[in-house]
């Protein structure tokens, strides 16, 4: 599902994937965290929240804290979380500097993230 701001949410095998694009900073963090919360609440409960930051152009410290708060909110509901960030990129460095990488696992792509984080009974292999 794509919203009018270019956000993409997708459900696959018990995982909710939210692809965050553009910039995530003090001026956009509320919009993105609200979108994540709405996607979790309005659709059937996922087992895993995947925040795909691979298309993100900029991530501020406040944006990273907003994502950390979203992940912690999921944890309170027994929903696992992980992040996708291009290794060595600007966003990946901020994920690590802001402490988000200490709270959730960081993966280089969706396939790796979903395969590694799904409960054993939900694991699948591409075909």
- Count of alpha carbons within 13 angstroms of residue 86, beta-carbon side: 11
Segment 58-94, tens digit of pLDDT: 999 999 999 999 888 888 888 888 999 999 999 999 9
- We find that the CATH architecture of domain 8-122 is 2-Layer Sandwich (3.30)
Alpha-carbon distance of 105 to 84, in angstroms, equals: 9
The alpha carbon torsion through 79, 127, 54, 33 (nearest 10 deg) reads -30
Percent of all residues in the chain with a pLDDT value above 90, rounded to a whole number: 43
Confidence check: pLDDT of 117 > 80: no
Q: What is the pLDDT of residues 12-48, one digit of tens each?
A: 557 888 999 999 999 999 999 898 888 887 666 667 8
């Amino acid at each position: 599902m794509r919203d009018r701001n270019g956000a993409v949410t997708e459900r696959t095998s018990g995982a909710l994937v939210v692809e965050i694009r553009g910039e995530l900073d003090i001026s956009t963090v509320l919009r993105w965290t609200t979108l994540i919360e709405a996607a979790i609440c309005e659709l059937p409960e996922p087992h895993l929240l995947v925040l795909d930051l691979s298309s993100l152009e900029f991530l501020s410290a406040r944006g990273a804290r907003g994502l950390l708060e979203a992940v912690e909110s999921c944890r309170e509901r027994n929903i696992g979380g992980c992040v996708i960030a291009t290794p060595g990129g600007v966003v990946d460095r901020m994920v690590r500097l802001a402490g988000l990488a200490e709270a959730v696992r960081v993966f280089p792509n969706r396939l790796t993230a979903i395969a590694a984080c799904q409960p054993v009974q939900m694991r699948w292999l591409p075909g």
